[in-house]
Structure 1
Amino acid sequence: MRRTPLGRSSTAVTRLSLGAAALGNLFTPVSDEDAAAAVEAAWACGVRSFDTAPHYGLGLSERRLGAALRGRPRHEYTVATKVGRLLEPVAGPAGDDLANGFAVPATHRRVWDFSADGVRRSLEASLERLGLDRVDIVHLHDPDEHFAEAIERAYPELERLRAEGVVGAIGVGMNQAAMLTRFVRESDIDAVLLAGRYTLLDQGAAAELLPEAAARGVSVIVGGVFNSGLLADPRPGATFDYAAAAPELVERALAMQAVCERHGVPLRAAAVRFALAPAAVAGALIGARSAEEVTDAARLLDLPVPEQLWHDLRAEGLLTDHLEEPCG
């Protein structure tokens, strides 16, 4: 699978990365066997980029990903993790972590920390869980309410870690485009991980973030290309950004699906290819909890998507006409 360097770094990602949030029991449990099989399937499909975080299952995602990659040639794959939340043990049983989205015992609590010491402590713990001595990409994770500390304290520490060779590339991962644009303008990051803001249903990143990233040589990794479900299976009751989708969004997604069906293309394939189109985009991050889901995601990259499909979406008012033309 094609690889693209992130920014000016020597770290490259494959066109498709496996997002390992589901391997941390996102919403529902995943067995150790299914988690390992998902990573195995990704590897078999040519995926060599993997994304995790301490937040995902209170470290479970990192432990499972590290175990699944153990024994594979280290130079062949890249691992991204994140800093900004420290995991602190809690005394005694405390129920589950479903309030934070993960079906795991609440053995730890998350503590926001974008200090230099917090970055070091977080990364050291991640390396232990992953069983690695370095991480290829480290993202500042969801610094929405912590911009000043993240850019003034956490980011310089990541620069020091990059100079030490512990970190290959520096990024920021968020569900919004506006603050990512500030990081692109005000720091020397290599990449941004943008979740859900450049999709068939939400092109919020097109106005500033994507052109700014392209102009400054910062790579974009797009996540949430299905907007948490609506673009994968449009129907009443489907989710958009992890909440029930509004009726007008469901109607729009169903209209897009109808156009895609006329061309014999799954809506999922159009969603992935659309997100990959801008010049600044280095790859897409797809979450999966089984080997079947991984194989399906990889297959979408190879399906032919006729140019007429994009013209028809625009003709029916389902896409704006100023966006970059996706490749067939």
Structure 2
Amino acid sequence: MRSTRIGTTAVHVTELSFGAAALGNLYRPVSEEQAAGAVDAAWRAGIRYFDTAPHYGLGLSERRLGAALRDKPRDAFTVSTKVGRILEPRPGAEGDDLAHGFAVPATHERRWDFSAAGVRRSVEESLGRLGLDRIDIAYLHDPDDHADQALGEAYPELVRLRDEGVVGAIGLGMNQSALPARFLLECALDVVLLAGRYTLLDQDGLAELLPLAEEKGTAVVAGGVYNSGLLADPRPGATFDYTEAPAELLARAQELQRTCARHGVPLRAAALRFPLGHPAVVSVLTGARDAAEAQDAAAMLDADTPEALWAELRERGQLDPGVPVPTRS
């Protein structure tokens, strides 16, 4: 699978990357066997970039991902995790974490912390859960309400950790594009993980963030390319950004599906391939909770998406004429 180097760092990412939120029991339980099977299937498909975070299942995702990669050559894969949420133990706590979306016992609580000390603690604890000696990419995670502290304290600490070799590349991961654009103007990031804002349904990232990233040589990883499900299976009740999709968006997704079908292309394939049409985008990130989902993602990215499909999407107004589209090389 094609891979790209992140800026001037030594870190490489494959064009398809594995999102490990589901390994933290996102919405419903995933067995240990399913989690390991998902990572193994992704590896067999050629995926070498794996993304996780302490937030995902209160550390469960990191532990499972680290265990699944333990027998793989360390220099053969890239792992990213995130900082900004410290996990504080809750001795004797009862109940689950479903209020935050994860079907795990509520053994810890999350505490926002974008201080320098919090960033260093977060990285050290992630290294312990992952069983690794370095983090390839560390993202500032969702600093929507903590921008000043993230810029003034967390970012400089990530730079220090990169200088020390603890972290290979530094970035920002968010599901909005405005604040990442501000970060690109005020500091030097290696990579931005943009979730849900550069998809077949939502090209908000194209207004400012993606042109800025291209200008500055900052890599972009496009996450949430299915917009949390609507572009994977546009049926009544499907979700967009984790809530039920409004009727207008559902209709748009179904029309996209019909256009793709006329060219023999699954909507999932077009949704995965589309972001890679922009020169700043180096990888598309999608989650998998078992081997079948990982295999499907690899098959969808490998599917042919002919020029005629993108031309028709433009002709029908389903994509603006100025939106870049993929080309096969």
TM tier, smaller: over 0.9
Residue of structure 2 in register with 1:82 after alignment: 82
Equivalent AA in structure 2 for residue 81 of structure 1:
T
Match in the other structure for 2:260 = 260
Corresponding residue for 1:36? 36
- Once residues 325 and 200 of structure 2 are traced to their aligned partners in structure 1, the CA distance between those partners, rounded to angstroms, is 13
Deviation at 1:91, TM superposition (A): 2.4
DSSP 3-state at the match of 2:194: strand
- AA matched with 1:83: V
- Tell me the TM-score normalized by structure 1: 0.99
Match of 1:200 in 2: 200
Task: State the partner residue of 2:126.
Answer: 126
Q: Does 1:3 align with 2:10?
A: no
Q: Which amino acid aligns with 2:283?
A: G
2:288 counterpart residue number: 288
Aligned to 2:54: 54
Aligned residue in 1 for 2:223: 223
Query: Identity of counterpart residues, as a percentage?
Result: 64
Give the partner amino acid of 2:235: R
CA distance in 1, matches of 2:302, 2:97: 38
Unaligned runs of 5+ in 2: none
1:232-288 deviation line (CA, Å, top 9, x unaligned): 000111000000000000000000100100100000000111111100001011101
Distance in 2 (CA, whole Å) between partners of 1:94 and 1:122 is: 24
Shift of 1:300: 1.2
Tell me which residue corresponds to 1:189: 189
Aligned-partner Cα distance in 1 for 2:280–2:184:
12
Distance 1:16 1:324 in 2: 19
1:196-241 CA-to-partner distances (Å, cap 9, x unmatched) read 0000000000111111000000000000000000000001110000
Q: CA-to-partner distance for each residue in 1:100-124, whole Å, 9 max, x for gaps?
A: 0000000000000000000011111
**1:151 equivalent in structure 2:** 151
Q: Distance in 1 between matches of 2:51 and 2:72?
A: 16
CA distance in 1, matches of 2:197, 2:93: 38
**Structure-2 residue corresponding to 1:233:** 233
**Structure 1 residue aligned with 2:109:** 109
Q: For the residues of structure 2 that align with 1:210 and 1:322, how far apart are their CA atoms?
A: 13
Conserved in 2, the CA contact under 8 Å of 1:8 and 1:217? no
Aligned residue in 2 for 1:322: 322
- Residues 237, 244 of structure 1: 8 Å contact kept: yes
CA distance in 2, matches of 1:71, 1:226: 31
Structure-1 residue corresponding to 2:160: 160
CA distance in 1, matches of 2:94, 2:116: 30
User: Which AA in structure 2 matches 1:105?
Assistant: P
Give the letter aligned to residue 63 of structure 2: R
Which amino acid is 1:6 matched to? I
Query: What is the CA deviation profile of residues 38-59 of structure 1, one whole-angstrom value per residue up to 9, with x for unaligned ones?
Result: 0000000000100000000000
* RMSD over equivalenced CA pairs, Å: 0.7
Deviations 1:47-104 (CA, angstroms, capped at 9, x unpaired) = 0100000000000000000000002100000100000000000121320000000000
- TM-score, with structure 2 as normaliser: 0.99
1:325 shift after superposition: 2.2
The separation in 1 between residues aligned to 2:302 and 2:165, in whole angstroms, is 35
